[in-house]
Amino acid sequence: MADFEKAYETGTHVRYFLEENHTFPTVSLGVFVKSGTRYEIDVKPGIAHFVEHMVFKETKKRSAFEISNAIESLGGEINAFTSSEYSLFYVRLLSKDIEVGFDVLSDILSRPTFNKELLEKEREVILEEIYEFTDDPQDICEIEALHSIWGDESLARNPLGSVESVKSITQDDLFSYFERFFKKGNIFVSATGDIDRGRFEDLIERYFGTFSEGDSDFVFKVPSYRFLNIDYPKDTAQLHLSVTFRGARNFTHDSYLHSIFTTALGGNMSSRLFQKLREEYGLVYTVYAYPVRLTDAGGTVIYASTLPKYGDIIKDMILEELNEIEEKGLTEKEFTNAKNYLLGNLILGLENTSSRMQRNGISGLLQGQVKTVQAIIKEVEHIEKEEFDAYIKTLLDGTFALVRVGKINGKGNNA
C-alpha cells in the first residue's frame, strides 16, 4: 500500500480529496483557501480574517440569515476560521443534504457583495473580537510567543489584525484581496463521510467549476528565527509565561519526533511539567507544551500561568527540565508512554469526520498529497528511543526566549 494518496483534480482543474466513510449518514465538507496572515505582506493586517467574515454577510443570492438558515434548518453546521497559511470554510450535514452545503459554500466563496453598510456593521463586530482577545492574557501570550519565535514576520501576527488596521480596511481592499486569492488554483475541497466519488466529483464540477482561473502566484520566504524576550505589561492577577525555542516544520518525519517530545514535556496530565509544577509543587493551575508548525518552519511553546511572585521560579524550573532532557533524554517509560499517547490520539481522532476532513484538506492544499493514517501509524511505531534522543540533542541547542504577560516587576497596564 502506498504511503501517500494523491490529491485529485476535476476536469475544470479544481483540486480535491475525498475520504469515503459510509458507516454513518453524514459528510464533513471543507473548502480550504490559500489565504491568511502569511499572505498579508503588501496588504492591511487582518484583511484575510475580514474577508472570512464578510463572505457570510451577503451574496448576490442570499442574505446573512439565508446563508446560515440554509444549513442550520437541516440540522447542520456552517463555520469558518483563518490561520497563518489558510482559511477554511466548512459545513457538516446529513449526507442526503450535502448538495445544499456545496451550493452555500460555492455561493459565499464566489459571489460576496461586500456591501458597504454591512461592512461597517461587521467592522464593529471584528473590533469587539479584537477587544475580547486583548482582555484574555492567555491569548495574548500565545500570539506574543509567535512574535518571540519569528519577530515581525506576517505569519506571527494575530489573524484578527489590529484596531488601527481593521478601522482602515475599505470595500475596495476587500474586493482586491478576494479577487487575488479566491481563485480556482488557490482552493482545495476536502470531504470525509457518506458520499461516493462519482457524486462528489459531479457536485464539485457543478458548484466550483466556474470559479475564476489561476492562483495568487504567492511565493513564501522561509522565516528566520528571532527568539525575542518579550514583556507585555497588563493588569492581571496572574503572570502568564511562554518559553519559546525551535521546533519541526509540518509534514516531516521530525514532526513526529517533536510531537513525542512535546507530549512527554507538557502534553497531558502525566507529562513532566504538569507533574512537577502542578502536582508536586502546586505553583500553577495551567501548564502545557505545544508545537507551532508551518510548511517550512516550526517552533515550540511552553505556556504556564502563575502568581507574579513565582514567575522566575517557574521559568527556572522549565529551563531546568529542558536542560535535563537535553543531557539525559527521557526515560524509557516516558518515551514509550508519549509515543503510545500520540498513536492513541491519532487513532481516536479517526472517529471525528471533521478532524479527518481538516487533516486531509491542509495536507492536500499545502502539499498536493495526503499521507495515509496507516503510514503515519507505521512511521511513529518504528521510531526508536535512540533516534529520538539524537533528535532532542539537535532541538535543545540552548537557544530559548521568554514571553511574560501580566504584572511585571509589580507594574501592569491595560494594554
2 contacts: CB under 8 Å, gap ≥ 6: 372
Q: What tens digit of pLDDT does each residue of 281-298 get?
A: 999 999 999 999 999 999
User: Residue 117 belongs to what domain range?
Assistant: 8-208
Is 164 found in the same domain as 58? Answer: yes
Per the domain annotation, does 2 fall within a domain?
A: no
Q: What tens digit of pLDDT does each residue of 117-126 get?
A: 999 999 999 9
Instruction: Enter the C-alpha cell of residue 267.
Output: 502534553
**DSSP codes of every residue in 112-154:** B---HHHHHHHHHHHHHHHHHHHT-HHHHHHHHHHHHHHTT-G
- Residues 323, 397: Cα–Cα separation, whole Å: 9
Is 196 found in the same domain as 105? Answer: yes
Dihedral sign (CA 129, 130, 134, 140): positive
Model confidence at 2, pLDDT cuts 50, 70, 90, reads low
Bridge-based pairing of strands 401-406 and 230-233 is parallel
326 contacts: CB under 8 Å, gap ≥ 6: 392, 393, 396, 398
Last residue of a domain, one of 176, 208, 240: 208
Is 273 found in the same domain as 186? Answer: no
- Residue 257: pLDDT over 90: yes
Dihedral sign (CA 259, 261, 266, 271): positive
- Residue 246: pLDDT over 50: yes
Last residue of a domain, one of 208, 242, 272: 208
- Residue 10: pLDDT over 90: no
Q: What CATH number should be reported for the domain holding residue 185? A: 3.30.830.10
The residue type found at 40 is: E
- Residues 24, 29: Cα–Cα separation, whole Å: 15
Per the domain annotation, does 54 fall within a domain?
A: yes
Q: What percent of the chain has pLDDT over 70?
A: 99
pTM of the model: 0.94
81 strand-pairing partners = 88
Rounded average pLDDT over 331-338? 97
Rounded average pLDDT over 72-77? 98
- Residue 415: pLDDT over 70: no
- Residue 275: pLDDT over 70: yes
Q: For the chain, what is the domain count?
A: 2
Q: What tens digit of pLDDT does each residue of 380-390 get?
A: 999 999 999 99
Over the chain, what is the mean pLDDT? Answer: 95
Is 331 found in the same domain as 282? Answer: yes
Is 256 found in the same domain as 161? Answer: no
Rounded average pLDDT over 13-32? 95
